Amino acid sequence: MSIFLCGACGTSFEEAEDAPQRCPICADERQYVPPSGQVWTTTEKLARTHRNAWRQLEPDLMEIQTVPAFAINQRALLLRTPAGNILWDCIALLDDATKAIVQALGGLSAIAISHPHYYTTMQDWAAAFDAPIYLHAADKEWICRPSDHVRLWDEDALVLSSSVTLVHGGGHFAGGTVLHWTGEDGKGVLLAGDIVQVTPGTDHVSFMWSYPNMLPLSAAEVADVAERLALWPFERIYGAFSHQNVRKDGQAIVARSAKRYIDRLSQ
């Protein structure tokens, strides 16, 4: 019996003798099945061929990235707060070294995930550190493997501690979530996942329904995401991928980018 992982998106499935027939996340219009067909691996195989690399983004915030790249190739972020460590977004590889490092840093008090593309092996991370997984209820149909650790929420915002709040942004997924952290300097930090996608120049963000299939959101949906985020002050933005680090003017960048996007659609 093995935990099978989709090779294209990293989603994990319930323990079984054989690989699943299909991956609902990849079969969705927002993702894709590779032209060579669906491929599968297992958690054991992945741990033999890959490892996790760590980088500090700023005091109390670390990036965890699997090398070589696997599936969508997003990073997870480990946020250290006085109320405990929070894993933001998830990656499929949880090897023994990662378990030992996270344990040495104090374990996890919570896991929070922006949207279903990054659910991956959240069930294993939650079990290893006995931590709740906060997921927005609007996306519950995309949970491909049940876990007693899942806590569904459906408010506009969910306060996790005095410095950390989950904010419902919507857009890319109905339950699309960002994490707002007051930051060590009090200026505000946004952990954005794909809900706002930091552009290559890191001076703008964009908002898409499907990134790989290049399918846009409507002007009304983008305006709604921007309005929801405008309530939260933030200077820095950390996106889903390792180069997506906005160091200043984050809130103005999101507002300006939403206006640019909406203007473009009306031309």
Stretch of 1-9, 56-64, 125-133, 215-223 lying at the interface with Zn ion (CB under 5 A): 1-9
* HEC per residue, the chain: CECEEECCCCCECCCECCCCCCCHHHHCCCCCCCCCCCCEEEHHHHHHHCEEEEEEEECCEEEEEEECCCCCCCCEEEEEECCEEEEECCCCCCCHHHHHHHHHCCCCCEEECCCHHHCCCHHHHHHHHCCCEEEEHHHHHHCCCCCCCEEEECCCEEECCCCEEEEECCCCCCCCEEEEECCCCCCCEEEEECCCEECCCCCCEECEEECCCCEECCHHHHHHHHHHHCCCCCCEEEECCCCCEECCCHHHHHHHHHHHHHHHHCC
Report if residue 61 touches Zn ion, rule: CB under 5 A: no
Report if residue 194 touches Zn ion, rule: CB under 5 A: yes
Q: How far is the CB of 124 from Zn ion (least distance, A)?
A: 17
Report if residue 8 touches Zn ion, rule: CB under 5 A: yes
Q: Which of 3, 4, 5, 9 binds Zn ion (CB under 5 A)?
A: 9
Stretch of 92-100, 117-125, 130-138, 257-265 lying at the interface with Zn ion (CB under 5 A): 117-125
Q: Which of 23, 86, 179, 222 binds Zn ion (CB under 5 A)?
A: 23
Q: Which of 3, 5, 25, 160 binds Zn ion (CB under 5 A)?
A: 25
Report if residue 133 touches Zn ion, rule: CB under 5 A: no
Q: Which residues bind Zn ion (CB under 5 A)?
A: 6, 8-9, 11, 23, 25-26, 117, 194
